Structure 1
Amino acid sequence: MKKEISAIDAKYEAQKIAFGPMYFQSVIALRDLGILEFINNNRKGVSISTIIEKLDVSEYGVELLIEAAEILGVVECFGDGMVKITKVGFFLLKDEMTKVNVNFMNDVCYLGAKAMTDSIRNGKPEGLKVLGDWPTIYEGLSILPEPAKKSWFDFDHYYSDGAFPSALKIVFSKKTGTIFDIGGNTGKWSFACCAYDPDVKIKILDLPVQLNVAKQNAAEKGLTDRIEFYPINLLDTEQKIPQGADVIWMSQFLDCFSKEEIVCILKNAYQAASAETRLFILEPFFNNQNYPAAHFSLVATSLYFTIMANGNSKMYSIDVMKSLVDEAGFEVIETYPLIGDSYHTILECRKKA
């Protein structure tokens, strides 16, 4: 049970929420103006007057941002006018997860976040309008404006790539001739499979606009003879996943859909699977994390799905996903928690007997 805080502390915490957007953008300005990097490069401390002298930023701007950074614990200020970076500031600059998350929030989500209420009310990603005119972000991924496009893919790949080495060992622990990569995106998983096993054949199933990117990437890697491309909109229940897969792979895919849609997609996979087909679901379940920073980030990612992605999906708990798997006619035969250097769990599933 959490300890009850005082009214004074509670009021302070409320102000953090009230002014949160302003403080977030002050950190962006500190970074983009080079102030935070300059302070970091002077680990023993640097004077505010030196920052003003060396950087093309006004005295007003430097003092304003340093005051905000001190409140946030990003820098530490001393009575003699010296400033030092803190561990929080260092992580903002150098920690890969933090950098990816900051860029994703700033470039993809920030302007659309004001549409949170309308997105929840309407069940649509109303904030997406700031990036483009698509019903969901997935139709526009390959043509997102920069820097949103780079930040989106950096975010997506960061939270999947760390799982791939261990995931490959799990998938290929048994002879695997053909893999269906559902929602294959840019093809990174399929390419990793081809590098791991010279004999495996891949079929990437995704929206046509996404397949165009995967095709181009496969051509550049000389893999078009081993990878097929199958255009499909899995929200259209008339479009069926074909049969013939030894493995059906879904990496960070099902969190892009509502519970009802997940069941429909899994039932589609059920009709395509044989009794021997292995279905693998790779997801960063928010309640299956080792560190509070990961849990915190994953719950925030659910809010991105609301305002920017599709208006009805989220990051799920492992228990909810297992119940949806069961509802669709599969059973989880093995759980691989937090595999490799990642935040992910793999659920290995088979059709119920």
Structure 2
Amino acid sequence: MKKELSAIEAKYEAQKIAFGPMYFQSVVALRDLGILQYISENRKGVSIANIIENVNVSEYGVTLLLEAAEILGVVEIEHDIVRISKIGFFLLKDEMTRVNMNFMKDVCYLGASHMTESIVNGKPEGLKELGNWPTIYEGLSILPEPAKTSWFEFDHYYSDNAFPDALKIVFAKKPKMLFDIGGNTGKWSFACCDHDADVRIKILDLPVQLNVARANATERGLLDRIDFHAINLLDTTQKIPQGADVIWMSQFLDCFSKEQIVAILENAFQAASENTTLYILEPFFDNQNYPAAHYSLVATSLYFTIMANGNSKMYRIGVMKELVCQAGFEVVNTYPLIGDSYHTILECRKKA
């Protein structure tokens, strides 16, 4: 059971939420100004005066940021000697934390102020802070920097670790034709080509994304093995073609509402034969080993609300399985938390 907070403790927790944005930006500044790095290089501790002398930041700035960092437990200060804490270490050295922080800072932070209107309108009202598109997907290849870099680093971090084990699962039956739905920059398709010299790929995505994937495929000399099919899967008149041994959806369905997911899966259903296997790769937030992953994935749902499309989220595994069944498929195998990743694969086939 959770410990019941006292009124004083609850009030303190409430202040953490109230001042959260300020403290977040203070840690970003501490990192980006090199202060946290300098402290970490002096494991036995370093004086505040020494920090001021060596980081090219004013006494006022250093003092201000260290006071905030001490409150957050990012550093420990005793007798004017500063040491980095375990929390500070992860903020500085942990890849997951770096990717998440940059994504929040560069992609989501300004847009987060539009949370209320995004919820009310069912649209990503915060996206206007980055560009004038109905959803972020139309603008991915032309996002301003540093948002573009941070978005793709975030996306790849939460998928690339799953690829090695996913390839073993998908290619166990030696498929000849694989459809990569929502193929984005083509990373999964390229991994498939590296894994199996005989497989053919068709990437299906919005035209603006296919331009990026095609350029990347050209650079890798893979145009003889990868085809491109422009499609807007929110337009139900546009059909997924037939002929796939495998239909692959990696971190794709979480970009849509439940109703849209069913419609997309019904489109896949009409394209699939009785021998086609549909694989869905998703990081389900209720199927994680560690609280940091659960916490991060729920926060990602808020990104979908304010920046992506206003109506999608990270899902529970049971919800996704229900949507799969509504579209006419059945889940024949579940591969939870494959490899060193946060992902589960649902292997689906048409119901008999």
When normalised by structure 1's length, the TM-score is 0.99
Match of 2:48 in 1: 48
Give the deviation of 1:82 after TM superposition.
0.6
Give the 3-state SS of the residue equivalent to 1:245 in structure 2: coil
Give the deviation of 1:299 after TM superposition.
0.2
Give the deviation of 1:55 after TM superposition.
1.4
Tell me how far apart the structure 1 counterparts of residues 206 and 104 of structure 2 sit (CA, whole Å).
25
What is the correspondence of 1:165-176 to structure 2 with a 5 Å cutoff?
A: 165-176=164-175
Tell me how far apart the structure 1 counterparts of residues 277 and 33 of structure 2 sit (CA, whole Å).
51
Tell me how far apart the structure 1 counterparts of residues 74 and 202 of structure 2 sit (CA, whole Å).
47
Tell me how far apart the structure 2 counterparts of residues 43 and 141 of structure 1 sit (CA, whole Å).
41
Tell me how far apart the structure 1 counterparts of residues 323 and 16 of structure 2 sit (CA, whole Å).
37
Give the deviation of 1:279 after TM superposition.
0.1
Question: Cα deviations across residues 26-56 of structure 1 (Å, max 9, x unaligned)?
Answer: 0010011100000001111000000111111
What is the correspondence of 1:25-64 to structure 2 with a 5 Å cutoff?
A: 25-64=25-64
Letter in 2 for 1:74: V
Match of 2:66 in 1: 66
Question: Cα deviations across residues 180-226 of structure 1 (Å, max 9, x unaligned)?
Answer: 00000000000000000000000000000000000000000000000
Instruction: Determine if the alignment matches structure 1 residue 182 to structure 2 residue 177.
Output: no
Match of 2:18 in 1: 18
Tell me how far apart the structure 2 counterparts of residues 223 and 12 of structure 1 sit (CA, whole Å).
57
When normalised by structure 2's length, the TM-score is 1.00
Q: Which runs of 5+ in 1 are unaligned?
A: none
Give the deviation of 1:4 after TM superposition.
1.1
Tell me how far apart the structure 2 counterparts of residues 182 and 53 of structure 1 sit (CA, whole Å).
54
Match of 1:248 in 2: 247
What is the correspondence of 1:1-353 to structure 2 with a 5 Å cutoff?
A: 1-79=1-79, 81-353=80-352
Tell me how far apart the structure 1 counterparts of residues 4 and 72 of structure 2 sit (CA, whole Å).
23
Tell me how far apart the structure 2 counterparts of residues 217 and 87 of structure 1 sit (CA, whole Å).
39
Give the deviation of 1:312 after TM superposition.
0.0
Question: Cα deviations across residues 245-291 of structure 1 (Å, max 9, x unaligned)?
Answer: 00000000000000000000000000000001000000000000000
Tell me how far apart the structure 1 counterparts of residues 332 and 27 of structure 2 sit (CA, whole Å).
46
Letter in 2 for 1:321: M
Give the deviation of 1:3 after TM superposition.
2.0
Question: Cα deviations across residues 286-330 of structure 1 (Å, max 9, x unaligned)?
Answer: 000000000000000000000000000000000000000000000
Letter in 2 for 1:63: T
Tell me how far apart the structure 2 counterparts of residues 18 and 205 of structure 1 sit (CA, whole Å).
43
Give the 3-state SS of the residue equivalent to 2:284 in structure 1: coil
Give the deviation of 1:175 after TM superposition.
1.8
Question: Cα deviations across residues 44-82 of structure 1 (Å, max 9, x unaligned)?
Answer: 100000011111100000000000000000000002x11
Which runs of structure 1 show a deviation greater than 2 angstroms over 4 or more consecutive aligned residues?
Answer: none
Letter in 1 for 2:221: G
Give the deviation of 1:134 after TM superposition.
0.1
Give the deviation of 1:25 after TM superposition.
0.2
Give the 3-state SS of the residue equivalent to 1:347 in structure 2: strand
Question: Cα deviations across residues 61-116 of structure 1 (Å, max 9, x unaligned)?
Answer: 0000000000000000002x110000100000100000000000000000000000
Tell me how far apart the structure 2 counterparts of residues 26 and 17 of structure 1 sit (CA, whole Å).
15
Tell me how far apart the structure 2 counterparts of residues 55 and 13 of structure 1 sit (CA, whole Å).
33
Tell me how far apart the structure 2 counterparts of residues 114 and 300 of structure 1 sit (CA, whole Å).
15
Letter in 2 for 1:57: V
Q: Which runs of 5+ in 2 are unaligned?
A: none
Letter in 2 for 1:268: N
Tell me how far apart the structure 2 counterparts of residues 55 and 173 of structure 1 sit (CA, whole Å).
54
Tell me how far apart the structure 1 counterparts of residues 53 and 192 of structure 2 sit (CA, whole Å).
53
Tell me how far apart the structure 2 counterparts of residues 268 and 137 of structure 1 sit (CA, whole Å).
23
Tell me how far apart the structure 2 counterparts of residues 253 and 176 of structure 1 sit (CA, whole Å).
21
Letter in 1 for 2:126: G
Give the 3-state SS of the residue equivalent to 2:334 in structure 1: strand
Tell me how far apart the structure 1 counterparts of residues 55 and 141 of structure 2 sit (CA, whole Å).
37
Tell me how far apart the structure 1 counterparts of residues 351 and 157 of structure 2 sit (CA, whole Å).
34
Tell me how far apart the structure 2 counterparts of residues 211 and 256 of structure 1 sit (CA, whole Å).
17
Tell me how far apart the structure 1 counterparts of residues 273 and 49 of structure 2 sit (CA, whole Å).
71
Give the deviation of 1:2 after TM superposition.
1.9
Tell me how far apart the structure 1 counterparts of residues 41 and 218 of structure 2 sit (CA, whole Å).
43
Tell me how far apart the structure 2 counterparts of residues 33 and 193 of structure 1 sit (CA, whole Å).
41
Give the deviation of 1:148 after TM superposition.
0.1
